[in-house]
Structure 1
Amino acid sequence: MSKTRATKPRLPSLTITDDDPPFLTEFRIAMLARGLATRTRNAYIRDLRVCMQSTDKPLNQWQESDVINCLHYLTAQDKSPRTQARMLASLRQFFLWQVGDGLREDNPCEHIKNPKVGKPLPKTLSEDDITRLLDSPDTTAILGLRDKAMLEVMYACGLRVSELVNLSLDEVNLSSGWLQITGKGNKMRLIPLGEYALNALKSYLVRRGELQPVGKADCQAVFLTEQGGYMTRHNFWHLIKKYTALADIQTDVSPHTLRHAFATHLLNHGADLRSVQLLLGHSDLSTTQIYTHVATARLQSLHEEHHPRG
């Protein structure tokens, strides 16, 4: 756990190096103008730096053959097809920007096909696993109350971990039982808390002041660290690992696993895909559709296990 007290959300910093060529800096500025998140901008630049290691030729002068050679280079570096596809997508974005800004007339990625990538189903937890996980914090202690509330809210609302740790007091409406979440692309969505999460949150908020330094009410984070500041994604990752072990869950669980469980369990209990999409904050319905495969796989395994001719 961090020993410093952050009174504002801990946002990612830009990964800038002094030896970046000017065209990378210009591309970063263009991404900022499009409203892309800092993590997204960092990811694109990180991928492009790796691709640029495949040749001494400046990236802004690449032709189709250079992109193909780059993919061969990534294969030789034991990069998975999924990683190669992601880096090819970064290259596409870079060259689309160049074409759009009139810096070149052609996109050297235009006729290159993506590496074949399978779509593994997202890891999830059974409802029994979730119950054990949610019951694992010691709610007699203030930190246990906080952790219980965080786990309940994460599962009840399907939040991204950044949305959870950056949740502020003015985004919580206890009287109506809703959260107002600002997600990717600054898109706002309203999410119902549900009875269990609402009760856990109320119990924690009654004692939240115990984590707030005397005379310091400047931090608006709902979930405070021991120092009375905003938590980090890494903080919550450690909490998940701690309570997974206490609950004796053998599956490798990450914070995002609770978001997967939220979506899968909603579909298992009859929720429609469009509603789940809105609750998750997905801009594209196809992103949400992966959870229908998870639910179908679960039904198939139940059929095979319990049907006399399964």
Structure 2
Amino acid sequence: MPDDAVAAFLAMLAAERGAAANTLDAYRRDLKGAREQIGDLVRADKDDLARLAAAWQDLAPSSVARKSSALRQFYTFLQDEGLRADDPSAALPRPRARRPLPRLLDHAEIARLFALAEEDAVGGRPEAVRMLALLELLYGSGLRATELVSLPLVSVPRDVPFLTITGKGGQQRMVPVSARAGRALTAWLDVRPGGGRFVFPSPRGGHLSRVRLFQLLRDLAGRAGIDPEKVSPHVLRHAFATHLLEGGADLRVLQTLLGHADIATTQIYTHVDSARLVALVNARHPLRDIAPG
């Protein structure tokens, strides 16, 4: 029964929530680890779950939070399926794991990256043209690294300024492509080697790897006089979100563009816009011109 219950839980996550393979593997590992500590999870009581705090005491708060979340969802599933009448998960530890704020590039650093990439691409060298297209789509459309390198050719219609992206959990979304990103992408498609089904193919078959994309960006950053440690595909995605928010983008729109299932994930970007929000309140609040009595 224990293994059957875990398998059924994972099947539910895949079917009803569209959980990605990596997510399912993480849940499977966390539940297996808990079972190794306290035995049969289906029959475990609050005292059993309370013992996990000691077993997890050397782990980072974020790891404890993830493991506790997996177990809480598992027990909710058991109740929903009638496999348990109670939920013992209240005994699990609840660490306050502060989510780290994303590393950021400012507008000047972004401008330096693009200036160098554009200068490199002037001669039409395929590798340089590709680099500019990659940069434009990372910063101009906020794609995840995996979404970018695995972008299929069929997702790039030449007459519509949108890409069809398949993100986490197999969820699809439409991502707008700016005019300048569209020009960079068209230039790359004109010099792209023939064959293959990916926009950014690999010489060895398949598509450009995430590791190679990471290396290319860091090389560009170093040549642009920017600390390579500050630059990665994810940092450019953060810059896309941050700078859109600074420009007045709605948080719900940003959630859609980034492909976040939960707006709480998107809300991490609001920290960068505190100064603009204060200015907005001071300028637009209905009581702004009324002197205090």
* TM-score range relative to shorter protein: 0.7 to 0.9
Q: Secondary structure at the match of 2:154?
A: helix
Distance, in Å, in 1 between the alignment partners of 2:11 and 2:159 is 42
- Aligned partner of 2:153 in structure 1 is 169
Q: Is the aligned partner of 1:92 residue 2:72? A: yes
Of the three residues 39, 44, 50, the one matched with 1:68 is: 50
Supply the distance in 2 between the matched residues of 1:115 and 1:87 (Cα, whole angstroms). Answer: 11
CA contact (8 A) 1:135 1:148 kept: no
Q: Does 1:279 align with 2:257?
A: yes
TM-score, length-normalised on structure 1?
A: 0.78
What is the identity, as a one-letter code, of the residue corresponding to 1:100? D
SS in 1 for 2:99: coil
Distance in 1 between the 2:164 and 2:265 partners? 22
Listed as ranges, the gaps of 5+ residues in structure 2 are 279-293
- 2:186 aligned to which of 191, 202, 225: 202
Which residue of 10, 32, 46 corresponds with 2:14? 32
Scaled by the length of structure 2, what TM-score is found? 0.82
Which one has more relative contact order, counting CA pairs under 8 Å at least 6 apart? Answer: 1
What does residue 223 of structure 2 align with?
A: 246
SS at structure 2 position matched to 1:191: strand
Q: 3-state SS of the aligned residue for 1:179? A: strand
Task: After superposition, give the CA deviation of every residue in 1:102-144 in whole Å (9 maximum; x if it has no partner).
Answer: 2222222145462112233221211122222334444343122
Superposed CA offset, 1:170-190 (max 9, x none): 211333322122223433322
2-structure distance, mates of 1:196, 1:91: 47
2:33 alignment partner, one of 50, 53, 57: 50
Q: Deviations over 1:209-232 (max 9, x none)?
A: 2xx4xxxx3x22111112342233
Trace 1:6-21 onto structure 2 (pairs within 5 A).
21=3
Looking at structure 1, the residues matched to 22 and 100 of structure 2 have their Cα atoms a distance apart, in angstroms, of: 23
Q: 1:159 aligns with which of 143, 152, 168?
A: 143
Distance 1:298 1:48, change over 3 A: farther
Point out the more displaced range, 115-124 or 84-93. 115-124
Aligned counterpart in structure 2 of residue 263 of structure 1, from 227, 232, 241: 241
Q: Deviations over 1:23-71 (max 9, x none)?
A: 443433333333321111011112223333434x223332222222112
Give me the identity figure in percent: 39
For 1:298 and 1:79, how far apart are their aligned partners in 2? 38
Instruction: Using the TM superposition, give the Cα deviation of residue 239 of structure 1 relative to its aligned residue in structure 2, in angstroms.
Output: 2.6
Task: Look up the SS of the partner of 1:289 in the other structure.
Answer: helix
SS at structure 2 position matched to 1:118: coil
Note the alpha carbon deviations across 1:153-195, whole angstroms, 9 max, x for none: 1110011122112211121133332212222343332222112
Offset at 1:150? 1.0
Is the 8 Å Cα contact of residues 274 and 285 (structure 1) preserved in structure 2?
yes
Change beyond 3 A, Cα 1:154–1:67? same
Give 1:105-144 correspondences, 5 Å limit.
105-110=85-90, 112=92, 114-137=94-117, 138-139=120-121, 140=123, 141-144=125-128
For 2:53 and 2:275, the matched residues in 1 are separated by 34
- Aligned-partner SS, 1:227: coil
Query: Partners in 2 of 1:247 and 1:38 — Cα distance?
Result: 37
Supply the AA of the counterpart residue of 1:153.
L
Tell me which of 201, 206, 209 is aligned to 1:229. 206
